[in-house]
Copies of this chain bind each other. A is one copy, B any other.
């Protein structure tokens, strides 16, 4: 299998609408990454970032991005538009939007976002949130799949802590999951795949409450702490991922996440808000 036929790359395929510099693209959500309702949010974000990285006016590399999910995407073609709002010598600020017709044919916004790109420079560096000491991925077994959700089959997850509860008995003690993860089949790391992985973790409320309640991401922010060369060097090796909630309050909760390389580089940090119903 060559990289160009990897399901992740197929999912990110975009067709330009007009000149590339106009930042308008057309695409279709991939059934390979389908979630319960609409595609996996991580793949939608990665697709938007992919469009940005193909923009001829791009300065530097992705540093930070926020995506908001006003509505689930459907199977119809969507339109992605990207705008470089302001460019300085070292940074560039972008806004983006995805629009799609609903079942009645009415066009609506299904994704909004902002992205900061910038030129990284060699400076002093320090990791203050160190990777926990855990067994190597080769010695950890893979977590069984959740039946009926297609996108989960696109990832391998070797759980160290906080697996999806085997029974929904209303018992939960904490909200933290940890495990080794990678694309399935393996794929060389880049910014879109790192972004998609930051959204990997299932709703913390399921773990904390021991109940499979309706829940979904409404907004997600991801910060990248690696450059393209560092990501390439990781190749298709596992990342250690960790997610944890800080607070559940009146229908919403947060999830923080960290993704480290096997060598301990903290590649990405993230937070998101999910709604939940009980």
Contact = CB atoms under 8 A, between A and B. Distances in A.
How many monomers of this protein are in the complex? 2
A221 B271 contact: yes
Given A118-B251, A246-B128, A85 B64 contact: no
Given A91-B218, A278-B123, A225 B249 contact: yes
A122 B68 contact: no
Contacts of A127: 246-248
Contacts of A218: 63-64, 91, 116, 118
Contacts of A227: 250
Interface of A: 63-64, 66, 68, 70-71, 85-86, 88, 90-91, 93, 95, 97, 108-109, 112-114, 116, 118-129, 174-175, 208-209, 218-219, 221, 223, 225-227, 244-252, 254, 256, 258, 266, 269, 271, 273, 275-278
A128 B247 contact: yes
A116 B247 contact: no
A126 B250 contact: no
A122 to B, nearest CB: 6
